[in-house]
Structure 1
């Protein structure tokens, strides 16, 4: 029989995987899809309870399945005003009803900003815009070439709007900010004349900037290097202090062992604990030293001294210190094993003789391991001295570590950054000057203002300056690939060419896979990939990419190239055979626009999402201007540039009366504006939706409440009051800060706000780096493979869903009457958890209780929470073997009993919570298995009864 703990652990150790597996069940999948697809269409509580599939799904998810029949009752709950403490839902003692009502708030005030037919027309225009882009590029380039010798002067060139715009687009200038006279001075500069405008204004300043960088960087490097050494020195000092402290405690405990009445057992535990601590800190020191040794060895090898006497001696030292590291961890492991075996000896029925034999074996292992110890206190002191000497070596070169150095670093870094920024910002001026041949007097040479080579480079740059690669661009890329690919001799040379890498990604359908990076391609091209090779589970392609949607394409890439596993080629072998070259070319033309097709699909999806958000009552034209998913999509669809057209103009366009030929939109004499206005439905005041907020009020209130609970749970008296007040102050800050957010960038820049939300969700902010949060908030929650959805804790996706950021990162709007994304995601996750617990309960009710307790533990704030929940109380009574009769005791006495046996603060500690659940599972198996089955396991060959996993679990518990 499988033990309760094993069954529980199979699920709990990777709850996200269990949820994903459950979500794939046909019934669960169908109901989830139905819920996700239809919940947004519900606009009232009546509609909700009338749709039994949606309603019953939500009821089960929120643990209210037994009340599904009570529609009238639940309707009153759903229609409660949650801001009113006396409302029906708020007055119910079971908080699940209020949480259910909070998740499903409805309103019937919806409007239609854009009809289905208007949306279809906008999408058609959008797609047509990109289909005609290649023709527009060809036409513009043909005109530019035709004017090569027709323009008589630089002034004529700059005054020709079409030529001028072509140049600006090609070389990356902004027409709104660039100074035309400045460009004229550059275009007419003689680069061979030191006194020319270009040489005095651009080259001289770039040279000065380069000198600043060259002068500052060595000092900045030295500062950083010394700071690293200081950090290493301080770390070793900390280790030395910890080792010395442990040695002192060991000596004190050993001396106290001979004192009259000494508690030798407790003293031995102290000795063992401090011995383990000492070896762990020594292991840290040895590990750090080994890293340094390996670096020294690598330097010797690079210098050609790998076989020198010094290198061989270093090898011997590395071997000895590696053995020291392993030995210290072996000692620590043996000490832990002895502690566990000693605890087991005190349990009823323990085989003392066998356990003592195991303890003796561990003791012998410790003695044996001590022979491999080589690192000493003197080594630690020498390491500190060496670091101090290295730090001192910078004296005279750098100011002392501290404020003076920090100020110097800031000054040098600011200067170097400014210089680097200047060089970067003027690169385009250098490129521009090199691209044109106007005479210093502004006239044009007989052959034109550009040579054939310059013209070719300019037109190619123009083609690739567009927002996406067109067919013409693809042809240029293909020719570049054919000319370049077989000039490489190693895979590293190939990977250094970013253009080639992008072409390969497009050719092998890898550009849309976020998990495929350049190193993925390099590894694939150097991995054997015959059918026989792919039978090997350790093959790179199989081990890391098998089962992914791009696996076959990655294998095709691998098979196309001739690189060996070391990234080189055999003599006379090219990277690509002729037949494979044609195959890659064909694949490229089939796949170069796949990313754009995906982008268009996403853009259309964003349009629809934004329109849903903008269809709520109370919003207006200003909200549309901020909603780029819809506004810019339609601007682009009709051929308008949102950056070039002022919103004040678009406001008048959108509020024009299209039935009045004298209205503002017709006065512009441009059909694009009329077309834009026709795609939206506004009244003369321009009102149509609600204001934009990063989080709705209900979500903010819920998070604030949960944060206060998380911070003040288990506290009492004055401390509880103080912490609660601090939490309330923090909640007020959060409310104000979130209300001011306008985009996800501002949220990510405010760690205080993020930490508040993470804490409120019951997670530890320290587990989430800034980069992790950036990836989470960049995730597409509709994509099951996105970072937020694949993260091990499903609460991260719920946190992301609680914010109303659109695909562009700006605050979006939820449609009136609809359920929020947060509620949808949370409900679907809750349904999966309920389903998992229910299914596990069919096989073993103990597993269901364990999973339920683990889920509810973060919400428990007092013993009364346990007493008021039958399942939680059952868990407690089983864990601590409490008789069922205690339920008849006075409630306060029961609460005291809970607090006596269960330290509620342990519920906030994942490790202690895990041990508590482990104890429950062991006690549950003992309680549910009969004595005959137990005897079979303990003394016979039977397969029933308490499993070996249970016995192992019991052996690891220290029952209080």
Structure 2
């Protein structure tokens, strides 16, 4: 018999050759062909486990052959969410199940509108877009200012896209629809010349439009006023009718009261209800009349006649009618109380005397209330007559009520709307003409195309025309506040300036509080707010805002100003002291963008919700366009305006072949469109597809995990923490770099990425030159003689197939919805060959199988507990170091300490030391099983026991089923 080591070495010294030899066996070849040809056709986990040949092949490859019968169990493993630590597979102690589920996951190449990496990039670009706005504003403004005196003509100005776009942005114009010939004519018009283009074409039409509005609006107002009067008259008449009807019924009920056998109690109840109706309708009338009186009173005050006899008389009438309104509601309340008391009196055991006393009290209250009634039927009739007169007053200026008036109103409204729209549209052209000083022949004055004042106004327009307030705009607002605040003498003056109000809201973190309006600020500023003042429960701040999130900010606002409670300033005082002014300014720069941060958080939430909805619907590019949260977010992220770029263009962008330099997206010569297309996954028909990425997310995440394990093996304490941190940084670089790699040349040019992948696979990057890697990645994987297939370590081919490049270096979209990626399939087939080799070797010598198994698993061992938890690995250790079977009964931690005492785990990462360890095992195995007389074993280890332990035999038995 040959020695165990010699048998082992015959296989291990050229594992690739051994695998190739096994692969040529007819049964192995048939199963491999079936697996390779059919694994990509599986569309569900159920279908996978139901195909016994596929399923059994995969189970054997992953060392789970003994569990092949447990389909229900394995189905739960396959359906586990590996990102959830509490998922079924992650809760199993045997990591082989997690590795199996990781290899066969539909999510790795699933059809999706946006992968997690793409989502992260979109969110990052969105933040960068707004973060870079200040730099962009500064760059464009500097360029604009620099060119103000360098541009020689209006034609040169309009021909420069940066100057032209700056003007468009500043004056709110759509550059895509702008008529440059028209703009040239406007810019070169002499506004003081009545015959200039602007005055004859634009201003003349604006004057005509304004004249039309001036003539139409009074008529439209009259039509509206008459219609309002008609509606009011109808309302008053309805009240009068209801009152009259109720009074008629009251008279009838009162007559029935005297009839023989009449149910007087029931009739009285009906009379009371009808009486309540009369008073309610009079109360409605009084309320309507009071509203009209309040309007009349306000008009008198505005006209400076608040103390006139007419105003005094009106005030008295308001008082009387208010009392009437209150009295009628009091009567209605008493009548309702009487009805309730009358019903209570009929209850068994009722104290009728006491109840009657209460009824009498209510009746007396009614009599008292009736004494204060002043509104009469005559008042109602008079108001109807007044409304009739008001309606008739339009007879001379308006057509009769009906179709003729409706037709006139529609005609005038259409013409007025057109005129209003023209004025609104051309407002920007008025501002444009006033903002530039081009000569009428198109040349530029010596001082430039704008004066210093015009230039400053335009740059401020540009800054404030952005989607949100930037730091540049905040600086302007702060300067405005500093310049303006000292000019206010009252709070009302200050609150009338909307820019100041907005500034204060930003400075005191009140921008996101919808309930805080300008009056809130005014009341806070004029409310005493010392600690003693805030002890008063009736203090405005305490009473209305205590307990709110913004309470402390509102108190800080109050303390920042010097205004009196009446809104004026003390003699010689300024609104804000210098110290407080700097404090307010500091607060402003800390909080002016809070509202945007909140908006951004909501935008990201909506993006994710929209993407989830799109994923559920399995939709198309048209559904993306309809999903405003996702579409507009990403358009903004790449610097495109969803409102300006037609969707027909974006449809072509999204369906372009990013690997074809002649595809539509590249003809636009704008990187923003390419960037947009890369953030989504659509095929040429506009359907969702698998992500077009150098490596799919699942594989990338697995490589990251494996890399971190390789870099932190055997480390502990601070050393392990530092190594993990460095490995995680490298993993982030790996993911970020792969997101930008879209050609094989780009991948091969980034050695850092390739070294990461090699390390994750347990390969030493130093063993691979750039030329070797190029040969591997450009190999024909279907050719057994290609470099990747001939290379001695099969893991290199696994690295190559984990990336989505073809031989020509073109990035290819992986098949969507398949259970195993290309790399996963190759890895599984390699694992199957290794398992088969180990099984076949075990038939002749279990020691060879155990040695091959340990050599294969050694790169995955990170602690003594990995050995203890694997029966075969533990058997290898015990045999190697002649450990008695009884140690298995020791405390687990003590067993781990024993493993660490005899075995330096770091030696497993050293090829030479690992080889020596295997040699020692084979020698000890032969010695214990007496399969061969090994003089070397006698020399190295002395007279060891010739009997193999029962635990080792059990371990080998377990290994047979791995």
Q: What TM-score range do you get, normalising by the shorter chain?
A: 0.5 to 0.7
- 1:156-305 correspondence to structure 2 within 5 Å: 156-305=156-305
Aligned-pair CA distance for 1:371: 1.8
Q: Paired residue for 1:720? A: none
- The answer on 1:344 being equivalent to 2:344 is yes
Aligned-pair CA distance for 1:183: 0.4
- 1:502-651 correspondence to structure 2 within 5 Å: 502-616=502-616, 618-642=618-642, 647-648=647-648, 650-651=650-651
Give deviations 1:41-72, integer Å, cap 9, x for gaps.
Answer: xxx9x9xxxxxxxxxxxxxxxxxxxxxxxxxx
Do the aligned partners of 1:327 and 1:369 also contact (CA within 8 Å) in 2? yes
Give deviations 1:164-218, integer Å, cap 9, x for gaps.
Answer: 1111111111111111000010111111110100001111111222222222333
- The answer on 1:143 being equivalent to 2:135 is no
TM-score by length of 1: 0.58
Aligned-pair CA distance for 1:252: 1.0
Q: Paired residue for 2:446? A: 446
- TM-aligned CA distance change 1:485 to 1:205, over 3 Å: same
Give deviations 1:749-799, integer Å, cap 9, x for gaps.
Answer: xxxxxxxxxxxxxxxxxxxxxxxxxxxxxxxxxxxxxxxxxxxxxxxxxxx
SS in structure 1 at match of 2:616:
coil
Q: Paired residue for 1:98? A: none
Q: Distance in 2 between matches of 1:311 and 1:650?
A: 67
- TM-aligned CA distance change 1:288 to 1:664, over 3 Å: closer
Bigger Cα Rg: 2
Q: Distance in 1 between matches of 2:667 and 2:228?
A: 67
Q: Distance in 2 between matches of 1:385 and 1:641?
A: 59
Q: Distance in 1 between matches of 2:360 and 2:109?
A: 77
- 1:854-873 correspondence to structure 2 within 5 Å: none
Give deviations 1:481-522, integer Å, cap 9, x for gaps.
Answer: 111122122333222322222212211112222232333323
Q: Distance in 2 between matches of 1:595 and 1:279?
A: 52
CA RMSD of aligned residues (A): 3.1
Q: Distance in 2 between matches of 1:210 and 1:140?
A: 37
Could you tell which deviates more after superposition, 581-590 or 308-317? 308-317
Do the aligned partners of 1:212 and 1:419 also contact (CA within 8 Å) in 2? yes
Give deviations 1:410-469, integer Å, cap 9, x for gaps.
Answer: 333333332222111111001111111111111111111111111111112112222222
Aligned-pair CA distance for 1:307: 4.3
Q: Paired residue for 2:359? A: 359
Aligned-pair CA distance for 1:253: 1.0
Do the aligned partners of 1:213 and 1:419 also contact (CA within 8 Å) in 2? yes
Q: Distance in 1 between matches of 2:644 and 2:377?
A: 71
- TM-aligned CA distance change 1:382 to 1:434, over 3 Å: same
- TM-aligned CA distance change 1:158 to 1:317, over 3 Å: closer
Q: Paired residue for 1:849? A: none
Q: Paired residue for 1:85? A: none
Q: Paired residue for 2:385? A: 385
Q: Distance in 1 between matches of 2:651 and 2:323?
A: 75
Q: Paired residue for 2:63? A: none
Residues paired across the two proteins, number: 590
Aligned-pair CA distance for 1:323: 2.6
Q: Paired residue for 1:118? A: 118
- TM-aligned CA distance change 1:251 to 1:465, over 3 Å: same
Q: Paired residue for 2:475? A: 475
SS in structure 2 at match of 1:567:
coil
- TM-aligned CA distance change 1:160 to 1:308, over 3 Å: closer
Could you tell which deviates more after superposition, 194-203 or 678-687? 678-687
Do the aligned partners of 2:682 and 2:689 also contact (CA within 8 Å) in 1? no
Q: Distance in 1 between matches of 2:379 and 2:671?
A: 82
Aligned-pair CA distance for 1:335: 1.2
Could you tell which deviates more after superposition, 680-689 or 146-155? 680-689
- TM-aligned CA distance change 1:451 to 1:293, over 3 Å: closer
Could you tell which deviates more after superposition, 395-404 or 161-170? 395-404
SS in structure 2 at match of 1:615:
helix
- TM-aligned CA distance change 1:576 to 1:400, over 3 Å: farther
Aligned-pair CA distance for 1:669: 5.9
Give deviations 1:335-390, integer Å, cap 9, x for gaps.
Answer: 11111111101111111111111111111222222222222222222222222223
- TM-aligned CA distance change 1:163 to 1:309, over 3 Å: closer
Q: Distance in 2 between matches of 1:207 and 1:640?
A: 37
Give deviations 1:899-929, integer Å, cap 9, x for gaps.
Answer: xxxxxxxxxxxxxxxxxxxxxxxxxxxxxxx
Do the aligned partners of 1:501 and 1:518 also contact (CA within 8 Å) in 2? yes
Give deviations 1:592-617, integer Å, cap 9, x for gaps.
Answer: 22122222222222222222122236
Do the aligned partners of 1:525 and 1:557 also contact (CA within 8 Å) in 2? yes
Q: Distance in 1 between matches of 2:684 and 2:408?
A: 60
Q: Distance in 1 between matches of 2:670 and 2:309?
A: 84
Q: Distance in 2 between matches of 1:417 and 1:314?
A: 40
Aligned-pair CA distance for 1:153: 1.2
- TM-aligned CA distance change 1:277 to 1:141, over 3 Å: same
Aligned-pair CA distance for 1:620: 2.1
Q: Distance in 2 between matches of 1:109 and 1:584?
A: 54
- TM-aligned CA distance change 1:518 to 1:108, over 3 Å: farther
- The answer on 1:492 being equivalent to 2:492 is yes
Do the aligned partners of 2:112 and 2:689 also contact (CA within 8 Å) in 1? no
Q: Distance in 1 between matches of 2:350 and 2:541?
A: 50
Q: Paired residue for 1:749? A: none
Do the aligned partners of 1:158 and 1:164 also contact (CA within 8 Å) in 2? yes
Q: Distance in 2 between matches of 1:512 and 1:356?
A: 59
- TM-aligned CA distance change 1:232 to 1:635, over 3 Å: closer
Q: Distance in 2 between matches of 1:289 and 1:635?
A: 56
Aligned-pair CA distance for 1:309: 4.3
SS in structure 2 at match of 1:217:
helix
Do the aligned partners of 2:243 and 2:282 also contact (CA within 8 Å) in 1? yes
- TM-aligned CA distance change 1:412 to 1:555, over 3 Å: farther
Q: Distance in 2 between matches of 1:313 and 1:339?
A: 39
Give deviations 1:807-861, integer Å, cap 9, x for gaps.
Answer: xxxxxxxxxx9xxxxxxxxxxxxxxxxxxxxxxxxxxxxxxxxxxxxxxxxxxxx
Aligned-pair CA distance for 1:293: 3.4
Aligned-pair CA distance for 1:308: 4.4
Give deviations 1:720-744, integer Å, cap 9, x for gaps.
Answer: xxxxxxxxxxxxxxxxxxxxxxxxx
Q: Distance in 2 between matches of 1:399 and 1:656?
A: 62
- 1:729-748 correspondence to structure 2 within 5 Å: none
Q: Paired residue for 1:436? A: 436
Q: Distance in 2 between matches of 1:412 and 1:642?
A: 36
- TM-aligned CA distance change 1:273 to 1:662, over 3 Å: closer
SS in structure 2 at match of 1:112:
coil
Give deviations 1:4-43, integer Å, cap 9, x for gaps.
Answer: xxxxxxxxxxxxxxxxxxxxxxxxxxxxxxxxxxxxxxxx
Give deviations 1:859-915, integer Å, cap 9, x for gaps.
Answer: xxxxxxxxxxxxxxxxxxxxxxxxxxxxxxxxxxxxxxxxxxxxxxxxxxxxxxxxx
- TM-aligned CA distance change 1:167 to 1:245, over 3 Å: same
Give deviations 1:548-583, integer Å, cap 9, x for gaps.
Answer: 222222222222223334433334332222222111
Q: Distance in 1 between matches of 2:223 and 2:119?
A: 59
- TM-aligned CA distance change 1:306 to 1:536, over 3 Å: same
Do the aligned partners of 1:122 and 1:679 also contact (CA within 8 Å) in 2? yes
